[in-house]
Copies of this chain bind each other. A is one copy, B any other.
Amino acid sequence: MMLEKTTRLTYLFDFYQSLLTPKQKSYMSLYYLDDFSLGEIAEEYNVSRQAVYDNIKRTDAMLEQYEEKLLLFQKFQERQLLMSRLREFSSSIENSLEFEALLNELEKLD
C-alpha cells in the first residue's frame, strides 16, 4: 500500500466516518488506524479475505466521493496553511497569548 494514499484515506476516514455503517467503520479502523492485515480482519470477523478487501475498496471509493462533494479534507489543508501564516503575526502582537488561544480554538474545529 502506498504510504501517501494510506495517509490520505486515513484523513478522509477521519472526516467522513460518521457517514459510514458500523461494519465499514470497524474494518476501516482496523485496517488504516490499527494496521491490521486483510487476513487478520477476515479472521476476526469470520469472513473471507476477499469480502474484507471488497468492503474496504468500496468504502475507500465512498470516502473519495464524499470528498469530491464536500471537500472537507481539501479545505482543512487550505485552512492549515492560512493558520500557519496567521500564527506568524503572533510575535508582533501585544496580547499574543489571547491571539494564540483563538488560533488554537479555530484549529480544533477542523
| A residues whose Cβ falls under 8 Å from a Cβ of B | 16, 18-19, 69-70, 72, 75, 78-79, 82-83, 85-86, 89, 92-95, 99, 102-103, 105-106, 109
Q: Are the C-beta atoms of A75 and B109 separated by less than 8 Å?
A: yes
In the complex, what residues of B have CB within 8 A of residue A89's CB? 89, 93, 95, 99
A76 nearest CB across to chain B (Å): 9
Contacts A92-B93, A92-B94, A102-B86; is A70 near B18 (CB within 8 Å)?
yes
A-side interface mostly: helix
Q: Is the CB of B99 within 8 A of A19?
A: no
Please give, as numbers and ranges, the residues of chain B lying within 8 Å of A95 by CB-CB distance: 89, 92
What is the bound-complex CA distance between A102 and B103, given in angstroms?
Answer: 13
Most buried by B among A70, A75, A78: A70
Q: In the assembled complex, which residues on chain B have CB atoms less than 8 Å from the CB atom of A79?
A: 106, 109
